Amino acid sequence: MMLTLEQLAQQCDAEIPANQSSVKINAAADIMIATSNQVTVLSSRKYLKYLTDTQASACFVNRDMCIEEAPENLVFLYCKDPEISFLNAVHALHPRVEYNRSISKQSVIAENVTMGKNINIGAFSTIEQNSKIGDDTEIYASVNIGRNVSIGKNCTLYPNVVIYDNTVIGSNVTIHSGAIIAADGFGYKYRNNEHLKVPHVGNVLIADNVEIGANTCIDRGALGSTTIGAGSKIDNLVQLGHNNQVGRNVIICGQSGVSGSCTIGDGVVLAGGSAIADHVNIGQQAVIMARSGVAGDIEAGSQVFGLPAKDKKVVWRELAALSKLPQLFKKFKVLENRISKLER
């Protein structure tokens, strides 16, 4: 999409010098690689070094950013929140291509499925009995939706998503390919040399505005529900076990795992590859740092690291001490000798 700087400034809440309003922009790009007729963004002083040589035609920047040197041809788009203005510029310059929606004749939809308006169902998708699809929801090819599933409005399910029976999904939810929602949780009782399966008759509830990454698994509750709160975002290859209660606006990064029956407070961040043992409560806004393994409750607002995870400052102090430990052993020997000498 080609836009003039004037159009871009308008759409992205920015100001430009009037004499530059007709400059043409056709793409958004990172500051290191942007070229002519592209717009970029300078959101942090650490990228200032790239400004001098950028080939971009325009750059979103906050007026408070102190800029000493910039290419002559570069036009600044002054704005309050350069990151968000740039994000809107990406939307405006690279609009999502909309295709005609239809119900593929090669899909299999049970007779009593309730279908809203303006829905897309891709080829080779199946929807079982008593399920319900809201208006404007787009289901790609090869998606399998079980029985008694409810999906809200304006959702997107990419190819190969599987939704087991009785799942309830809100509106504006995006689920990426290969995600498996509401498979049985992992629970057994060992008796007489055999693992007896704990039946899983619960379900999964996903609130509005949730995004779920590719190949992520969210298990159904054993008796009740596994729930994901509104606005939470879950990355790829994440494992969420049975009966977890995930709050609102939670961020769960790739390859993280939450065992089961945990409570994850609103606004919590699970950084990449972190993991939570079962029956653990994570307080609101807590940050579980990358690759950490949490074994017990975590206080709201705290930042923890390590295995088992502890307050990050405590862990860093321990790791700093550990790095000097081999040396300490040598110093200890010296001390012993000095004492032996004194004792003689």
Provide, rounded to whole angstroms, the least separation between the CB of residue 278 and its own copies.
Answer: 9
Q: List binders of its own copies among 255-274 (CB under 8 A).
A: 255, 257, 259, 272-273
Is the Cβ of residue 21 or residue 184 nearer to its own copies in the bound state?
184
Q: List binders of its own copies among 16-55 (CB under 8 A).
A: 28-30, 33
Map residue 269 onto helix, strand or coil.
strand
CA distances from 60 to 34, 85, 188 (A): 13, 7, 56
Note if the bond before 199 is cis, omega within 30 degrees.
no
Among residues 6, 184, 208, 299, which is the contact residue for its own copies, using CB under 8 A? 184
Distance, in Å, from the CA atom of 344 to the CA atom of 147, rounded to the nearest integer, reads: 86
Query: Is 101 a residue that touches its own copies (CB under 8 A)?
Result: no
Is the Cβ of residue 21 or residue 208 nearer to its own copies in the bound state?
208
Mark the segment that binds its own copies (CB under 8 A) among 50-58, 64-72, 79-87, 296-304.
79-87
Query: Is 100 a residue that touches its own copies (CB under 8 A)?
Result: no
C-beta separation of 54 from 41 below 8 A: no
Catalytic site includes residue 176: no
9 closest CA partner among 71, 65, 76, 63: 76
The two counts, helices (H) then strands (E), for the chain are: 4, 39
Catalytic pick among 91, 176, 200, 242 = 242
C-beta separation of 203 from 181 below 8 A: no
By residue count, the chain amounts to 344
Query: Is 97 a residue that touches its own copies (CB under 8 A)?
Result: yes
Site string for its own copies, 293-312 (x = CB under 8 A): x-x----------xxx----
Provide, rounded to whole angstroms, the least separation between the CB of residue 212 and its own copies.
Answer: 11
C-beta separation of 255 from 237 below 8 A: yes
Provide, rounded to whole angstroms, the least separation between the CB of residue 18 and its own copies.
Answer: 28
Query: Is 113 a residue that touches its own copies (CB under 8 A)?
Result: no
Distance, in Å, from the CA atom of 157 to the CA atom of 298, rounded to the nearest integer, reads: 34
Among residues 21, 249, 263, 284, which is the contact residue for its own copies, using CB under 8 A? 249
Among residues 24, 45, 63, 94, which is the contact residue for its own copies, using CB under 8 A? 94
Angle at 216 between CA 210 and CA 218, to 5 degrees: 75
Q: What is the per-residue burial (b if ≥16 Cβ within 10 Å, else e) of 236-273?
A: bbbbbbbbbbbbbbbbbbbbbbbbbbbbbbbbbbbbeb
Query: Is 208 a residue that touches its own copies (CB under 8 A)?
Result: no
Q: Going edge to edge, which strands form the sheet with 58-61?
A: 14-15, 75-79, 58-61, 38-41, 27-28
C-beta separation of 62 from 41 below 8 A: no
Q: List, as own/partner pairs, every contact residues 101-107 make where C-beta atoms lie below 8 angstroms and the sequence separation is at least 24, other chains included.
A: 101/138, 104/141
Among residues 231, 265, 298, 303, which is the contact residue for its own copies, using CB under 8 A? 231
Among residues 241, 268, 303, 304, which is the contact residue for its own copies, using CB under 8 A? 241
Mark the segment that binds its own copies (CB under 8 A) among 12-20, 111-119, 131-139, 158-166.
158-166
Is the Cβ of residue 188 or residue 301 nearer to its own copies in the bound state?
188
Site string for its own copies, 126-145 (x = CB under 8 A): x-------------xxx-x-
Among residues 15, 45, 73, 188, which is the contact residue for its own copies, using CB under 8 A? 188
What amino acid positions are annotated as catalytic residues?
242
